[in-house]
């Protein structure tokens, strides 16, 4: 039976990447060592590290005046590192509140300075993106933070806010590499690896150079971006094996047409799944407004939540795994990241159709 894993994260990785990692596990390229066993200062690992950064730069078209950092601590630590590094003595930063991950970032930023919530969608249980025209931005804000894809609520921005001279900061944990972005519009992009990049334990930060070096006094050394940038993410021991797997994922993306090709497949996958939900005569329901539906995380409910347990049991028996929704939303959530093939979404849609006919 083919297994399709719809986990929100840690999430599915490309089969080819896992197979390559398996083949190279005990002896990387005739070195006689596993990547796990290599010194991070040795020429073998340094090569892997540099190649991963070069491939990511190529994939995302990252301009030369941006640093690529591989850090630890997850997106959660970025919620603190961002205000510590980017407030730069200013009173406050702007935040957009579109769901649970925005709220976590806001809560943490409040420990370090003023937070001005410029827009929210709390009137709707976080099911849409607030129109830019209604945002109450502060032109003297240190930066503006938003969450382009809310992994839990399934709300995704189809556009990039234009904040002028105010640096734009984005938590792309769950949609990085899934669609094209013009990196030059951002001051800083960050993402935990475990959704679209690789294994948990690596945090990617892409930051414009001029934002470095103005860290708050008493900031721990490990939380200063400039320290990591100057040390090429090797100030301390980086998460070497996770970076190696991320590098294999970047090569897999490059071999398969890059982000543009991935975006087309992601559009097709999302269309297929939302189409099935909308055509189910109310048996399935997605609460997110049409224009702001995530291509990566698709939350949906069944018309009667008493059917949830049976839906999950039958899905499991078919090899359609980890469809249970987040505890705060309930129902189901299908995460359909880059590594989820169209065939996986088709298998889910086929099952959903049968289940609705059986129990509808
Ligand atoms: C998963 C996720 C996080 C949390 O990531 P950690 O690596 O667990 O800290 C933060 N933001 C978004 C948008 C996420 O999807």
Q: Which atom of ligand 1 is nearest to the CA of 192?
A: 7
Q: What is the pLDDT of residues 313-343, one digit of tens each?
A: 999 999 999 999 998 888 999 999 999 999 9
Q: Which atom of ligand 1 is nearest to the CA of 75?
A: 9
| Residue of the CA atom closest to atom 4 of ligand 1 | 75
pLDDT at 41: 97
Q: How far is the CA of 53 from the centre of ligand 1 (A)?
A: 21
pTM surpassing 0.95? yes
Pocket test for ligand 1, best of 7, 10, 71, 75 (most atoms within 8 A of CB): 75
In the chain the beta strands, taken as DSSP E runs, fall at 4-5, 66-71, 92-97, 114-120, 144-146, 149-150, 155-156, 168-171, 188-192, 203-208, 284-285, 297-302, 320-321, 332-335
pLDDT at 262: 98
Q: What is the pLDDT of residues 205-228, one digit of tens each?
A: 999 999 999 998 899 999 999 999
**Two structure tokens written together for 264:** 């087309």
165 half-sphere exposure, CB direction, 13 A CA radius? 4
Which of 28, 94, 97, 101 does the annotation list as catalytic? 101
Q: How far is the CA of 44 from the centre of ligand 1 (A)?
A: 31
Q: Which atom of ligand 1 is nearest to the CA of 77?
A: 9
137: left (phi over 0), alpha (psi -120 to 50) or beta: beta
**Two structure tokens written together for 335:** 């995460």
**Two structure tokens written together for 200:** 């948990």
* Cβ count within 10 A of residue 297: 28
CATH 3.40.640.10 for the 15-255 domain, yes or no: yes
Which of 195, 224, 252, 292 does the annotation list as catalytic? 195
44 half-sphere exposure, CB direction, 13 A CA radius? 16
C-alpha of 233 from chain center: 20
Q: Which atom of ligand 1 is nearest to the CA of 149?
A: 13
pLDDT at 199: 97
Helix, strand, or coil (residue 299)? strand
pLDDT at 120: 98
Q: Which residues contact 26 (CB under 8 A, 6 or more apart)?
A: 34
The CA distance from 205 to 189, in Å, is: 6
Active site (annotated) includes residue 308: no
Give ranges for CATH 3.40.640.10 in the chain. Answer: 15-255
pLDDT at 59: 98
Q: Which residue ranges have their beta carbon within 6 Å of ligand 1?
A: 9, 74-76, 101, 147, 151, 171, 173-174, 192, 195
Give ranges for CATH 3.90.1150.10 in the chain. Answer: 258-359
Q: How far is the CA of 107 from the centre of ligand 1 (A)?
A: 14
Which of 94, 97, 171, 224 does the annotation list as catalytic? 171
The CA distance from 230 to 247, in Å, is: 21
CATH number of 258-359: 3.90.1150.10
The CA distance from 155 to 171, in Å, is: 13
Q: What is the pLDDT of residues 89-122, one digit of tens each?
A: 999 999 999 999 999 999 999 999 999 999 999 9
Helix, strand, or coil (residue 196)? coil
* Cβ count within 10 A of residue 344: 21
pLDDT at 328: 85
pLDDT at 22: 98
Residue for token pair 């359909």: 336
Active site (annotated) includes residue 171: yes
pLDDT at 360: 85
Active site (annotated) includes residue 255: no
Q: Which residues contact 35 (CB under 8 A, 6 or more apart)?
A: 24, 28, 44, 45, 48, 240, 241, 244
Buried b (16+ CB within 10 A) or exposed e, 208-243: beebbebbbeebeeebbbbbbbeebbbbeebbbbbb
Weakly modelled stretches of the chain, pLDDT under 50: none
């Amino acid at each position: 039976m083919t297994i399709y894993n719809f986990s929100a994260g840690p999430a599915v990785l490309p089969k080819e990447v896992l197979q390559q990692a398996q083949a190279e596990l005990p002896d990387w390229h005739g070195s006689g060592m596993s990547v796990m066993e290599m010194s991070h200062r040795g020429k073998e690992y340094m090569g892997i590290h540099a190649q991963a950064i070069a491939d990511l730069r190529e994939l995302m078209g990252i301009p030369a005046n941006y640093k690529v950092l591989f850090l630890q601590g997850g997106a959660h630590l970025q919620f603190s590192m961002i205000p510590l590094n980017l407030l730069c003595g200013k009173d406050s930063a702007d935040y957009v509140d579109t769901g649970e991950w925005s709220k976590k970032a806001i809560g943490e930023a409040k420990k370090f300075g003023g937070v001005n919530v410029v827009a929210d969608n709390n009137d709707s249980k976080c099911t849409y993106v607030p129109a830019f025209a209604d945002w109450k931005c502060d032109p003297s804000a240190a930066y503006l933070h938003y969450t382009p894809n809310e992994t839990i609520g399934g709300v995704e921005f189809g556009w990039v806010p234009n904040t002028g001279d105010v640096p734009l900061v984005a938590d792309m944990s769950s949609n990085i590499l899934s669609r094209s972005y013009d990196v030059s519009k951002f001051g800083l992009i960050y993402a935990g690896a475990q959704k679209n990049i690789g294994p948990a334990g690596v945090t990617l930060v892409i930051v414009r150079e001029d934002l470095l070096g103005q860290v708050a006094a008493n900031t721990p050394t490990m939380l200063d971006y400039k320290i990591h940038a100057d040390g090429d993410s090797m100030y301390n021991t980086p998460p070497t094996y996770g970076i190696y797997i991320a590098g294999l994922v970047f090569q897999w993306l490059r071999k398969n047409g890059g982000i543009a090709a991935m975006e087309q497949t992601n559009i097709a996958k999302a269309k297929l799944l939302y189409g099935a939900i909308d055509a189910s005569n109310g048996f399935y329901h997605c609460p997110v407004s049409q224009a702001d539906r995530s291509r990566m995380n698709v939350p949906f409910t069944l018309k009667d939540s008493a059917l949830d347990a049976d839906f999950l049991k039958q899905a499991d028996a078919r090899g359609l795994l980890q469809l249970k929704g987040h505890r705060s939303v309930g129902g189901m959530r299908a995460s359909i990241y880059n590594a989820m093939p169209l065939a996986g979404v088709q298998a889910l849609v086929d099952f959903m159709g049968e289940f609705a006919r059986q129990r509808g």
